[in-house]
Structure 1
């Protein structure tokens, strides 16, 4: 099998973000056959359907999405909802075909942040993404000051993230085998 490419989107722009730390830890824990590519969302313009096709940052995100085998998303909850930066990125991607049927794993860094996760599931399902429930992970990071190194060093957290990657890889490899058999 060829290398698996996972696109990682953090719904937080904060430098000491738990969400970005989880995605960075996933990149550090990934086996050599899996490439986790963190994508910054802070430079995307505000979504305006009248401006589709006009922004190189959006075109780059669309190309990255189309080339990815799967998607890893971690987002904070703000006012019981998805962060604005993540929702903005998803709005830019909603019309593209690169998102359809993409396997997705969700990461939640606060067990009490259930509203954003539910809203995110609704948006992603509406966009025809395929959430892989067995690959979704909640880690109790709120108030820990944990960065990616701490996450990787904590055995239970690191194991949960490795299992998530294993589940994503299994789904993606199975899909690739099915696609190859149809040729």
Structure 2
């Protein structure tokens, strides 16, 4: 059984990125379990002085979850042409750890307009030594209200796209 950790870079209650991550968890193919990490908003601001024995509990939970996972999926909004601070903060907690080294990772997006954040996030994750899967899943949810988002994500073509993306990512993980 492959264990995949999914993280949304958005803290909004009605986040399309979080909805996409939740839908991916529901579409996990047989042999895969996708677990959504929901602790992004509880992470303290990264401070290198707080590493080691002083690592805060929420940071330890994230580090352990990434370490245990066979792969990582990240869905990230774009704020002012960049990666949201909460997600960057989470990645900063992983920088000096082995959790990211050679960890397979896939990016998924809920907006076709997040090109700057997409590029920045890919650069950050490559620099951290994640093994970034080249294919990106994008399901356009930008500007949609929750009932519309649910309908779009439940559409057979999108469910199939999610299932296929997860299967391909699982093969990528297994091939490493």
TM-score category (smaller protein): over 0.9
Cα shift at 1:91: 0.4
Match of 1:29 in 2: 27
Distance 1:146 1:43 in 2: 24
Q: Residue 29 of structure 2 contacts residue 167 of structure 2 at CA under 8 Å; is this kept in 1?
A: no
For 1:71, what is the secondary structure of its paired residue? strand
Tell me the matched-pair count.
Answer: 172
Indicate whether 1:52 and 2:16 are aligned.
no
Distance 2:5 2:152 in 1: 20
Which one is further off, 71-80 or 47-56? Answer: 47-56
Match of 1:7 in 2: 5
Distance 1:156 1:144 in 2: 18
For 1:133, what is the secondary structure of its paired residue? coil
Distance 2:114 2:159 in 1: 21
- Shift of the 36–94 alpha-carbon distance from structure 1 to 2, 3 Å rule, reads same
Distance 2:29 2:150 in 1: 17
Match of 2:95 in 1: 94
Match of 1:180 in 2: none
Q: Residue 22 of structure 1 contacts residue 151 of structure 1 at CA under 8 Å; is this kept in 2?
A: no
For 1:100, what is the secondary structure of its paired residue? coil
Q: Residue 6 of structure 1 contacts residue 37 of structure 1 at CA under 8 Å; is this kept in 2?
A: yes
Match of 1:17 in 2: 15
Q: Deviations over 1:131-164 (max 9, x none)?
A: 1112x11111112224674244212222221111
Q: Residue 42 of structure 2 contacts residue 58 of structure 2 at CA under 8 Å; is this kept in 1?
A: yes
The answer for unaligned runs of 5 or more in structure 2 is: none
Distance 1:35 1:138 in 2: 20
The answer for unaligned runs of 5 or more in structure 1 is: 176-183
What pairs up with 1:68-83 in 2 under 5 angstroms? 68-83=69-84
Distance 2:160 2:141 in 1: 15
What pairs up with 1:165-176 in 2 under 5 angstroms? 165-175=166-176
Cα shift at 1:21: 0.4
For 2:46, what is the secondary structure of its paired residue? coil
Q: Deviations over 1:17-66 (max 9, x none)?
A: 00000000000011242111111211000011011132011111111111
| TM-score computed with the length of structure 2 as normaliser | 0.92
